[in-house]
Amino acid sequence: MDVIVVGAGVFGAWTAWQLLRRGQRVLLLDAHGAAHSRASSGGESRLTRSIYGADAVYTKMAAESLADWRWLSARAGLPILHPAGILMYFQRQEPFAQASIATHRELGLPLHVVERAELARRWPQADWEGIEFGLHQPDYGVLMARRAVQTLVAEFVAAGGEYRVAAVTPPVAGASRLESVKTSAGDAGGEQFVFACGPWLPKLFPNLLGSRIFPTRQEVFFFATPRGDERFGPLQLPGWAEFSAGDIYYGIPDLEGRGFKIANDVHGPAFDPDTGERRASPEGEADVRRYLARRFPAIASQPLVETRVCQYENTANGDFLIDRHPDLANVWLVGGGSGHGFKHGPAVGRYAADLVAGVSGAVVEPRFSLASKGSEQRREVH
């Protein structure tokens, strides 16, 4: 193999796909299968937006990725991108909102400012009390996460990539290169190795990443919508997020009958992706019901139909980690999605594949470098 990619989440799958397109022979391995239920990419749905404050790097990556998501959606039998739109709304003129507007203006990308009266006219199913304005992106919306990754892996295999379910043993330190990885299905040799192992990266590289990637426990709730009421479906409600002084509640309309999704984006406690308890807490449910009572009162007393506990794999400030291993010259680390990575999967894959394949002009973006990764959590990217 030219490249062995370990981890078939959204980052690994797009990296493997992009490497294959660059003419590489690629083996993609995953311990439990693509976008399985404990993977960060294994959820039902993920928001996509290019609203990122002053972080133009992520605005550009989200915009670039949208075309790839449309392509994948067209290949799949069922929708992968639901273009329901995305609406971020604010109680006051947050610096994040002002910077987002400026960034979009500088890049020549569309972003619509919607004043409160207009919010109330267009989306009367929400209570806009206390909200000053929103930022709306009608072209963005929601990605069907598990379906997206599994569809891409099927495309990868159909195009000649090799994919296997196999668990990889952490590489032994000491050498300057990796010749092969030990897996539950035998040894696998390659020229280069990409470890896109999401929240498991600290387990594979404990000395290097044990204090640089912080998996946190995140709860997600799905509520039944009222009978015969389409106001909370994707044709009438966009994906949404309320951003207030760094605190975010976000939600997704009732897609494919799975319920109205809501979550609190504040980082939860430290979490082990293998053994962590995946039953949502009564406190978490009470918290999101309080939010619903204020903003979406018609949902606040509806039955809970599903819950999920997932993990964010945070870097210190929320910037991705995409860099070469400092000791093993043919090993690459791709991760640190930090609760916002899914939408960028296609751009991450393209960027990582250029580095690994040695495409001329490909250089490590300083913000994605290992050297920039601190060991104290201080979230800056939202």
Does residue 341 interact with ligand FAD by CB under 6 A?
yes
Residue span binding ligand FAD (CB under 6 A) among the ranges 4-12, 87-95, 288-296, 299-307:
4-12
Q: Which of 196, 255, 280, 352 binds ligand FAD (CB under 6 A)?
A: 196
Q: Least separation, in Å, of the C-beta of 234 and ligand FAD?
A: 15
Q: Which of 29, 63, 72, 208 binds ligand FAD (CB under 6 A)?
A: 29
- Residue nearer to ligand FAD on the CB measure, 124 or 210: 210
Alpha-carbon distances, residue 37 vs 40, 163, 201 (angstroms): 8, 18, 17
User: Alpha carbon 43 to chain centroid distance?
Assistant: 10
Q: Least separation, in Å, of the C-beta of 17 and ligand FAD?
A: 13
Q: Least separation, in Å, of the C-beta of 105 and ligand FAD?
A: 23
Q: What is the DSSP letter of 92?
A: S
Q: Which two tokens stand for residue 376?
A: 């104290």
DSSP H or E stretch at residue 106: helix 95-107
Per the DSSP assignment, residues forming a β-bridge with 164 are 29
d(CA 380, CA 120): 31
Residues 153-172 that bind ligand FAD (CB under 6 A): 167-168
Does residue 68 interact with ligand FAD by CB under 6 A?
no
* Residues 54/336, Cβ–Cβ less than 8 Å: no
- Within 224-320, strands assigned E span 239-244, 247-252, 260-264, 304-314
- Own/partner long-range contacts of 281-284 (Cβ < 8 Å, ≥24 apart): 281/219, 284/219, 284/221
- Residue nearer to ligand FAD on the CB measure, 134 or 345: 345
Q: Which of 3, 26, 27, 39 binds ligand FAD (CB under 6 A)?
A: 39
Q: Which of 16, 19, 31, 381 binds ligand FAD (CB under 6 A)?
A: 31
**Helix or strand or coil: residue 87?**
strand
Q: Which of 148, 204, 213, 333 binds ligand FAD (CB under 6 A)?
A: 204
Q: Least separation, in Å, of the C-beta of 196 and ligand FAD?
A: 5
